[in-house]
Amino acid sequence: MVREQTALQKKFYDVIFGTSRGLGRNFDIALILLILTSVTIVMLDSIPGYHERYGKLFLQVEWGFTAIFTLEYAVRLWCSPNRKRYALSAFGIVDLLAILPTYLAIIVPGANSLLVIRLIRILRIFRVLRLLQFLSEANVLARALRNSRRKIFVFFSLMLVLMTVFGCLMYVIEGPVNGFGTIPESIYWAIVTITTVGYGDVVPHTALGRSIAAFGMLIGYAIIAVPTGIITAELATEIGKEKSRFNCRNCERSGHDVDARYCKYCGAQLPERETNQAA
């Protein structure tokens, strides 16, 4: 339900959710710094040496961050015009999950390992990118990925069938004696091999197994060309469109570079591009 916001709520909303104003921008940058510091401390706390020496300090700082993020969550909820929508949005859920583990650790010891969820909040960085005029670049990428999602889906369905078949083949050929204990394990091996990761924790030992593995590697090596081709072709199209996004007012032709100031066909001056707004 959309409520009427009071003037104070509106102001807070602009600062916390907005990014275009000076205060909103500073708030976002401060928030990202807080998240990064908080995550760094979770990381350091996972190193036994540091945990022993600074464990207590880390715990206190962690509680401090949790207090700040809890307050932030409360304010976000309070100043939202539509509280339910925020609480159920992806960002809203992540904001909540980012504070829960500390409280949970009172009851269940060790739960604060889950604080790593806080990391996902870093994705807010991309909201800040808008401020830095990187959004139009991100948009071209996003549009190209969106256009190619169906082809990528078809490709990955085929890949998964291929990997499953390869895994099963190797399970039958190599078997538990050579480390291919179960079919899921063999499929894990097939994924490790066809993506060319190649840990080497499970490797074929029989001549036939090695031949089939070699065949799988060659397929994996060649097939990477397909998603690359798909995304490149779509990206080229998107970059081309970016060039032709507006026409010359004189000759009505498009296809101008982003940095063009004069029409390349008739020499007339081109209108100003407002790249920030356009993005």
Whether 86 contacts 92, CB under 8 Å? yes
> Restricting to residues 74-103, which ones interact with its own copies according to CB under 8 A?
none
Residue 166, exposed/middle/buried by CB under 10 A (0-12, 13-18, 19+)?
buried
**Residue from 146, 260, 271, 278 in contact with its own copies (CB under 8 A):** 260
Number of residues that bind its own copies (CB under 8 A): 99
Smaller CB separation from its own copies, 59 or 77? 59
Q: Which stretch binds its own copies (CB under 8 A): 13-21, 26-34, 92-100, 144-152?
A: 144-152
Alpha helices in the chain (DSSP H): 7-17, 22-45, 48-79, 83-88, 90-97, 100-107, 125-131, 135-147, 149-173, 183-194, 207-223, 225-243, 275-278
For residue 209, what are its two tokens?
């197994």
CA dist list (Å): 131 to 115, 135, 142, 273: 28, 8, 18, 17
Token pair of 156 as six digits: 């990955």
> Within 205-234, which residues bind its own copies (CB under 8 A)?
207, 210-211, 213-214, 217-218, 220-222, 224-234
For residues 112-131, which are near its own copies according to CB under 8 A? 113-114, 116, 119-120, 122-123, 125-126, 129
Q: Is 68 or 120 the residue whose CB approaches its own copies more closely?
A: 120
By CB under 8 A, tell whether 37 contacts its own copies. no
8 A C-beta contact, residue 188 and residue 208: no
In whole angstroms, the minimum distance from the beta carbon of 119 to its own copies comes to: 5
Choosing from 89, 262, 271, 278, the residue that interacts with its own copies (CB under 8 A) is 262
Nearer to its own copies, 19 or 164 (CB): 164
Q: How far is the CB of 169 from its own copies (least distance, A)?
A: 7
Instruction: Give which of 96, 90, 65, 73 is closest to 16, Cα–Cα.
Output: 73
Rounded to a whole number of angstroms, the minimum distance from the CB of residue 23 to its own copies is 24
Give how far the C-alpha of residue 188 lies from the chain's centroid of Cα atoms, to the nearest Å. Answer: 24
In the bound state with its own copies, the residue whose beta carbon lies nearer, of 78 and 246, is: 246
Q: Which residues within the stretch 175-204 sit at the binding site for its own copies (CB under 8 A)?
A: 181-185, 187-188, 191-193, 195-201, 203
